[in-house]
Amino acid sequence: MRILFIAPRVHPNQVPIIEGFIENGDEIFYCVSHKNKYEEYAGATVKVISPSLIYKCYNNYLIKKHGENYAEKSSLYSFIPNIKELRKIIKKIKPAVVVVRNRSLFSLVTFWICKYLNIKKVLLYNQTPIYQKKQSTSIKKSFKIFYFSLFPKNRITVSRYNDYFLSKSGHKIIKDENAYFVPFVARIVQSDMNKEYFDNNKVRILDSGKFRDYKNHYLLVSLAKSLRSQGFSNFRITIQGQVTNDEEMKYYDDLQNLVINDKLSEFISLEKGLNYGKMQELFLNHDLFILASRKEVANISILDAMAYGLPAISTSANGTSDYITDGYNGAIYKTNDVDSLSEVIIKYLKNPESIVIQGNNAKITAKENFNFGTYYSAFMNVFNNL
Q: What is the pLDDT of residues 6-19, one digit of tens each?
A: 999 998 889 899 99
**pLDDT number for residue 72:** 81
**pLDDT number for residue 68:** 82
**pLDDT number for residue 107:** 97
**pLDDT number for residue 276:** 61
Q: How confident is the model at residue 191 (pLDDT cuts 50, 70, 90)?
A: very low
Comparison of pLDDT for 71 and 274, the residue scoring more: 71
For the cut 70, the answer to whether the pLDDT of residue 209 exceeds it is: yes
**pLDDT number for residue 274:** 67
Q: Shortest CA distance to 4 belongs to which of 116, 100, 112? A: 100
Comparison of pLDDT for 340 and 167, the residue scoring more: 340
* Pairing between β-strand 2-7 and β-strand 27-32 as defined by DSSP bridges: parallel
The least confident of 27-31, 156-160, 294-298 is: 294-298
Q: What is the mean pLDDT of the chain?
A: 90
Could you tell me if 244 and 39 are in contact, meaning their C-beta atoms sit under 8 angstroms apart?
no
For the cut 90, the answer to whether the pLDDT of residue 39 exceeds it is: no
Q: How confident is the model at residue 382 (pLDDT cuts 50, 70, 90)?
A: very high
Give helix 68-78 / helix 246-261 axis angle, nearest 10°. Answer: 130
**pLDDT number for residue 135:** 61
**pLDDT number for residue 384:** 92
Chain segment 218-248, per-residue pLDDT in tens = 999 999 999 999 999 999 999 998 888 888 9
For the cut 80, the answer to whether the pLDDT of residue 193 exceeds it is: no
Name, in order, each residue with C-beta under 8 angstroms of 221's C-beta and a sequence gap of 6 or more. Answer: 255, 258, 259, 262, 264, 268
Chain segment 141-187, per-residue pLDDT in tens = 777 778 888 999 999 999 998 888 776 665 678 889 999 999 999 87
The least confident of 270-274, 300-304, 322-326, 360-364 is: 270-274
Q: How confident is the model at residue 258 (pLDDT cuts 50, 70, 90)?
A: very high
For the cut 90, the answer to whether the pLDDT of residue 207 exceeds it is: yes
For the cut 90, the answer to whether the pLDDT of residue 93 exceeds it is: yes
- What string of H, E and C letters represents the secondary structure of the chain? CEEEEEECCCCHHHHHHHHHHHHCCCEEEEEECCCCCCCCCCCCEEEECCECHHHHHHHHHHHHHHCHHHHHHHHHHHCCECHHHHHHHHHHHCCCEEEEECCCHHHHHHHHHHHHCCCCCEEEECCCCCEEECCCCCCCHHHHHHHHCCCCCCEEECCCCCCCCHHHCCCCEEECCCEEECCCCCCHHHCCCCCCCCECCEEEEEEECCCCHHHCCHHHHHHHHHHHHCCCCCEEEEEEECCCCHHHHHHHHHHHHHHHHCCCCCCEEEEECCCHHHHHHHHHCCCEEECCCCCECCCCHHHHHHHCCCCEEEECCECCHHHCCECCCEEEECCCCHHHHHHHHHHHHHCCHHHHHHHHHHHHHHHHHCCHHHHHHHHHHHHHCC
